[in-house]
Each structure stands twice: as C-alpha cells, then as structure tokens.
A and B are shown apart, each in its own frame.
Chain A
Amino acid sequence: MVRCFFNSKWWLAKVIFEKMKISLSKIILLTSIIFIVVTFFLALNKDTKYNTKDLVGKEIGEFEIKFLLKDEIFTKNNLIGNEYYLINIWASWCFPCKIEHPLLMRLSNLNNIKLIGINYKDKKLNANNFLKKLGNPYDILLEDKSGTNSVIFSVFGVPESILINDKKMIIKKFIGPINEADYQFIKGKINEK
C-alpha cells in the first residue's frame, strides 16, 4: 500500500517532467549554475582581508607534528599542565625572526609559560645553527618542513605566534615579530592566573 503510494507519487513527478520536457541533466546543470552564481553574489559582500578576530576564544585545533630533533610526534593531547603555551612559527631564513628572538629568550625565562617552536620550511642544519648561535628559547621544538602542519594554526607567514591558555583556548595571535608591547601583554596574561 505504502509502496503503491510512493510509486504513484513518482509517477506524477515523471509525468510533470515529461510534459514540461525537463530532464534530470538539465536540472543538475541549472542548479549548479545557480549555486555558483549565488555563491559569487554572496562573496561580493564578504571582507577578503585577513584578520585574527575570529580565532580568539576558540579552542586550538587537533594537530600531530614531528619533533625537529627526534623521531617522535607531538599532539594536542601532549599539552598538559596548568600552563600557558606560546606557539611560535619561525625559520632560520626569516630575518624578522632574528629580531624577535631576544624577546623569545626573555619569555623562556618566565615561569608558567612554555614555548613551542615550529620550524617552518627550513633546513635542519640551518635551524640548528640558528639556535646554537642565538640560543634556544623553545621548550618543545617541532618541525614543519612542508608548511602543511602550520595550516592548522592558520599560519600564512613567518614569524607568527599564538598564545593559548591552560584550557587550550587561543588568547591572541601575533602576526609578524613580537615586540616589547606584546611581551608585556603576554607577561601580564600569565601573571593574572
């Protein structure tokens, strides 16, 4: 009975389609064109400039990244303890990274914060020399040779840093080298706790 009902309904649809000479392929074609046009229309009024506002207050995404110096993997679950983390994306070839380096060294001396360095699209040898020469501020040192892992943190250049709290929430994202004001901001945040 139920089946018959459905059949009759399909039959009706079929008749309508045949009467109006509408084929399935035409409908698909038409819907995809409408879909594309509507998306283009909506995109017209979107702001295409990059901003970090949306990131703040969100939990950091899942990640699995290899250590730079050993064959182990660091994941989101390894972020333990009541500590703040500063994820810093850097490379030996990036000059502004050298500028922010002394501030990272000062940050590494503070309690309550751990620095995670992600070495971005770099050669291991150069990265090592960089840290040997200038000092290693990082508690955890990871490697992103292809640049694909940093996508999780919405990175689009080096250096960039992301401050996350003990609940793995993003507090702020710093684009470009960290300056004195940023240092004071971070210091203030971790002392609030």
Chain B
Amino acid sequence: MLSNTGNLLIAASTLSTLLIIHSTYRSLKSKDYSITKNLVYLNLFQITFIISSFFLLILSFVVSDFSLLSVYQNSHTSKPIFYKISGVWGNHEGSLLLWVNIMIIFSYLFFTLNRDTEKKFRLYTLLIQNILIAGFMVFLLLDSNPFAKIIPIPNEGLGLNPILQDPALAIHPPLLYVGFVGSSIYFSAAIGAILSNINGKNFASSVKFWVLISWLFQSLGIIVGSIWAYYELGWGGFWFWDPVENASLIPWFCMTALLHSVLVLEKRNYLYNWVLILSLITFISSVTGTFLVRSGILNSVHTFASDPSRGLYILIFLTLMIIFSLVIFLKKRFNDKFFVQPVSKETFILTNNWFMMFYLATVFIGTVYPIFTQVLYDVKISVGPPFYNAVIGPIIIPFLIIMALGPKISWIKHNFKSFKGIIIILILSSLINFLIFYFFKSYNLISNLIIISSLFLIISSFKDFFNTDVKKNYINIPNLIYHLGFGTLILFIILNHNFSEEFDFNIKVGETKKIENVEIKFLNLNLEKRENYDALVGNFDIFDNKRNFKKRLNPEIRVYDKPETLTFETAINTNLKHDLYLTMSNLEGSDFFNVKYQIKPFMLLIWFAAFLTASGGLLRLFLRR
C-alpha cells in the first residue's frame, strides 16, 4: 500500500520536473521570458510531491512496513524510533531520495527567493537544475527505488548496521547532503548566468547566500562525522584521510574558495570566469566523490551494497555533466579583463583560492592515485596520512600568515603604514611557542612553525576584533570569527598531534599494569542487557602519577543480534585539558583483553574551534545587510 503511494508520488514529481523543463524551455525559446502561473504551480507540485514521498518513506520505516525492500533490509521492529528514522538515509535508496529532495527544495527556494534578478537568468537556472533533477530521478526510478516491493512480505527486518545506530551519525548525512547537494544550485546558476549573459555583480549577489548555506552545512557535516569517527571507531584519531573523508573535503575546499572569490566578484566585478569555474567544479567534485564512494571503487564505510551498474550510471551522468558544462563555459565565457594591485584585498582573496586549489589537487591526487595504479599497473597501494601530512603540513604555514593579514587589507590598494604591529605579534607568538617547547616537550621544526603561524593568526584576529569599530563595519566580525576559529583549530590539532600518548597492552580481569607513570587496574567485567543489544562493561581504574589524578573508565563491548555484530565502545573522559580514551577488545580463545589507553590533549578545544569556524558562517547569515 505504502509502496504504491510512494511510487505514485515519485512519478508525479518526475512528471512535474519534466513539465517544468518543457515550460521553461518554451518560455526561453519564445524570448518573452515570462514566468507563467503554471510554472509557479508546477514548482509547488514538484516540491510537495517529493517532500511527501520522503515523509511517506519515514512513515514506512516508523511503522516497520516490511513490504518495502529498503525497510526490510535496514530496519527492525525492536529498534528505537530515533534509529528507525535515521535508517531512512542510512542506505543507498533512501539517501538518494534525500538527495533529490534537497535538489528540489533548493531549486524551489532559489526560484522563489530571487524575485529581483533577471527573469532570463532565473529561468535558465531553473531549467538546468531541473535537468539535473531529472537525471537523478531516472536513477532513482530505474536502479534505486526506495519503494521497491518485496514478495512475500517478511515478518521481521534485517536491522540497521549497529555502527550507524548513533546520534551523531543520524544527523551527519542530512547535514552533509545539504552542503554538497545544495551546491547543485550554484552549478545551475553558473550555467544559467553564462547562457543568460547576466552581469557578474548580480550573479554574485544572487548566489552568495547559497554558497554560504552549503558551506555552513558542509562544515557542520564534516565536524559531526569526525566526532563520530573519534568516539565510535576506537582508533583515537578524528581524521584518517580516508577516501570518504576526502570526498567531503574536496567540495569543502571549493566552497571555501568560492566563499572568498564571490566577494571579489560582488564588490569589484572581477574574477567572473573564475567564480563560474569554481561554482561548476563544486558540484562536479561532489558528484565525483559520490561516485567514488558509492560505486565500490574505493572501499569505505560508506560503500552501501556495492553495485557496478549504479557506479556506471553515476559515471555516465558525471561525464555528461562535465562535458556539457565545459562546452558551454568555453563557448560562451565572458571577457574577463582586470588588473589588481599586488597589495590589496583582491590579491589576498586570490591567494586564498590558490591555497585551496593546492589542497584540492593534493587531496584529489591522493584519493584517486590508488585507482590509477590499480588500473594501469595492477598494483594495489594506499595513500595514507604520511603523504598528506608531508605535503599539506608545510603549506599551512604561509596560509595561516596570509589569513591573519587578509581581513585588515583594504580593497583596491592597501598601504602598509607600519609593520610594527605585525612584528610585535610575530615576536609574541614565537615567544609563546618557545615557552611551550621549553617547558613541555620538544617537537620538530614544521610543528614549531605551524604553532607560531597559528598563534600569529589567533593574536592578530583578537587584536583586529578589539580594534575594529563595531558599529562602523560590523560585516567584518564573521570574517574574524572564521579566521580565529581556523587558527585555534590548527593550533590545537598540532598540539594534540605532538602531545598525545598511547599505551597498548593485554590484560586479564583483576590484573594491574604499570607503564611509565600510569597504573591501570582492570577491576571487573559486567554483563548488562540494554534495549537492543547486550553490553559487556569493563571497569578500569586509572592512576596517573605525573598528572596526579585517579579516574574510572568503562569501555564496552556491545553484542547486537540484528544483524549479529560486535561493536567496541570507547570510554572517554573529557575535560578541557585532555581526553582519556580507552578501548577494550576481547581476544578470541584467551582470558586476556586487548586494551588501548590514550591521553589526547585538547580534544574538546578542537571541537570547539571547529564549531567556532562554522559559526562564522552562521553569524554572517544573520548579519547580512
């Protein structure tokens, strides 16, 4: 029953998409560029149908309607309601429906909110966006229908992968999706701008808001994902340079670059072509990332049922998208002549873009390199953190310095009155770095330089914060918050990297281990029955003689039965100074447990700094003129 209604809704939505394409095309061809009432209604129908189909899918997960294949494969009656709902996007079909939903919502909002811009531009954007939507609709209907039926109807579902039954991971996909699927709207707008020959300034101001929204959600999605990885995967790190993480990071680099260069376009009407290219590659890289992780080419936690035919469809779609956008861009691009002064805000923003493109290229090459070696030489390799740390690490240093100077440079031409302030801040940050180095622990040259430059960024942001006349140019405050947040983030990541400690050993119940200044006592092991799993809870007492504390930590081994899986839950004791991080795993055929105990400094501050960076985006949304 629900299945038929769902199919009907998706079909209706597809039909309205096609009708929108038809009607915008007619309007564009007749050159009257009128936005008819019909078109407005069609948009309304399209969004209503697709949103109701999504809610219908949620409903069928909530009531556990196992006549739907995707419900049967990803849900179970005994699951808490929260995870029944998050199961909707915890699989390929449901997440694709979410994908289409976001594209349509963005299309609708862009169409209705941009009343003041040229009609021709609005129509072209709507046309392109709906062609994209139609492409994904076909994919949804042919190959990944979330409302596919199963006969006979099973009594019970297979259950959601326990690793996905987690609050952070329940909200991670929607956040990230709003980010990178949302970027489709400025892909369409860019092509729309080329075709309708709209002025650069108008394009920038109509697109700016959407770039900011997608950037904000992309950042939040990445942060939530890495928090999850930190406490759930039990490895102790929060960034693994895994292909999936890279796939979310590449569009983020584009968005960050775009966030900056769109300002130049709006203020000075420069860099039009460059902004267009960035708008195009943001969505292209999002789809490429989706292709890489969904097709099963790269192994990752996000590889749902890996199916080459799906990969093939996305690849064909991607290729067409790239070729068409490239042909349109190269044929009709604008004549973009400009001259910028070497010391001006324009130059600094351009520098940001160069850095972003460098990071993008590095991460892209690191991610696809294994695919190339495998196809070309039949050699399996993996590119890991050493590569990224070595390539990206040193380049962070000038980036941070320029980031510190950027916000206070004026447009067009800047005259440095004196370098006194800069030099004082530089000396101050070197001094702080020296104190950390001298009193706590020594670390290598690159770390030294990164710490100095991040301190430089933090201190100059603070100084600017108190120096700016808040009333006169309030628009700068979000800028400072982004930059301050980013500086603190890098500082704490580097400190964390250099000051982390790790102890790895095997231990029996009742035993006490003493390593260096740490004494770990394994008191006992309890079996507890919980709502949808059983938990083996270990009691560990930690005595630290150097830092002088005594803490109780309770790691767990969870036994899920639907589907049958073991997960290892980390015990984390958080305070401002450091996280104590303990994982325990059983060793088959022995009484011993493998225990990994880590002291990770400043974890809380890393999350805080990351959210601070993202909140710059939030603040800017509210402080818009």
Do A and B form a real pair?
yes
Q: Which residues of B contact A36 (CB under 8 A)?
A: 368
Q: CA A68 – CA B381 in complex, angstroms? A: 26
Q: Does A33 contact B (CB under 8 A)?
A: yes
Q: Does B587 contact A (CB under 8 A)?
A: yes
Residue count of chain A within 8 Å CB distance of chain B: 20
Chain B interface size, under 10 / 10 to 19 / 20 to 34 / 35 or more: 20 to 34
A39 touches B372 (CB 8 A): yes
Q: Does B78 contact A (CB under 8 A)?
A: no
The residue that A50 contacts in the complex, of B323, B330, B380, with Cβ under 8 A, is: B380
B299 touches A41 (CB 8 A): no
Q: CA A95 – CA B585 in complex, angstroms? A: 12
A43 touches B291 (CB 8 A): no
Q: Does B315 contact A (CB under 8 A)?
A: yes
Contact A29 B295, CB 8 Å, known A44-B308, A44-B312, A95-B592: no
A46 touches B322 (CB 8 A): no
Would you list which residues of chain A between 120 and 167 have a CB under 8 Å from chain B? 154, 156
A39 touches B376 (CB 8 A): yes
Contact A33 B322, CB 8 Å, known A40-B371, A43-B371: yes
Q: CA A33 – CA B321 in complex, angstroms? A: 12
Number of A-B contacts (CB under 8 A): 49
B375 touches A39 (CB 8 A): yes
The residue that B297 contacts in the complex, of A26, A29, A33, A48, with Cβ under 8 A, is: A48
* Nearest-CB residue, chain A, relative to B310: A44
Q: CA A33 – CA B320 in complex, angstroms? A: 11
Q: CA A84 – CA B173 in complex, angstroms? A: 53
A44 touches B311 (CB 8 A): yes
A42 touches B375 (CB 8 A): yes
The residue that A40 contacts in the complex, of B291, B376, B506, with Cβ under 8 A, is: B291
Q: CA A45 – CA B307 in complex, angstroms? A: 10
The residue that A95 contacts in the complex, of B297, B322, B587, with Cβ under 8 A, is: B587
* Nearest-CB residue, chain B, relative to A36: B368
Would you list which residues of chain B between 555 and 603 have a CB under 8 Å from chain A? 587, 592, 594
A46 touches B315 (CB 8 A): no
Q: CA A29 – CA B322 in complex, angstroms? A: 11
Would you list which residues of chain A between 17 and 75 have a CB under 8 Å from chain B? 26, 29, 33, 36-37, 39-46, 48, 50, 54
Q: CA A41 – CA B319 in complex, angstroms? A: 11
B330 touches A46 (CB 8 A): no
Q: CA A37 – CA B319 in complex, angstroms? A: 7
Q: Which residues of A contact B322 (CB under 8 A)?
A: 33, 37
A41 touches B380 (CB 8 A): no
Q: CA A41 – CA B297 in complex, angstroms? A: 10
Contact A44 B330, CB 8 Å, known A33-B322, A50-B380, A93-B504: no
Q: Which residues of B contact A37 (CB under 8 A)?
A: 315, 318-319, 322
Would you list which residues of chain B between 307 and 366 have a CB under 8 Å from chain A? 308, 311-312, 315, 318-319, 322-323, 326, 330
Name, among A29, A36, A40, A154, the residue most crowded by chain B CB atoms within 10 Å (CB to CB).
Answer: A40
Q: Which residues of B contact A29 (CB under 8 A)?
A: 326
Q: CA A43 – CA B587 in complex, angstroms? A: 37
Question: What's the minimum C-beta distance from B73 to chain A, rounded to whole angstroms?
Answer: 22
- 26 A-B interface contacts by CB (under 8 A): A29-B326, A33-B322, A33-B323, A37-B318, A39-B371, A40-B291, A40-B297, A40-B315, A41-B312, A41-B315, A43-B374, A43-B375, A44-B295, A44-B297, A44-B308, A44-B315, A46-B297, A46-B374, A46-B375, A48-B299, A48-B374, A50-B380, A54-B378, A93-B504, A95-B592, A154-B380
Known pairs A37-B318, A41-B312, A154-B380 / 16 extra A-B pairs, C-beta < 8 Å: A37-B322, A39-B372, A40-B315, A40-B371, A42-B375, A43-B374, A43-B375, A44-B311, A44-B315, A45-B308, A48-B299, A48-B374, A50-B380, A93-B504, A95-B587, A95-B594
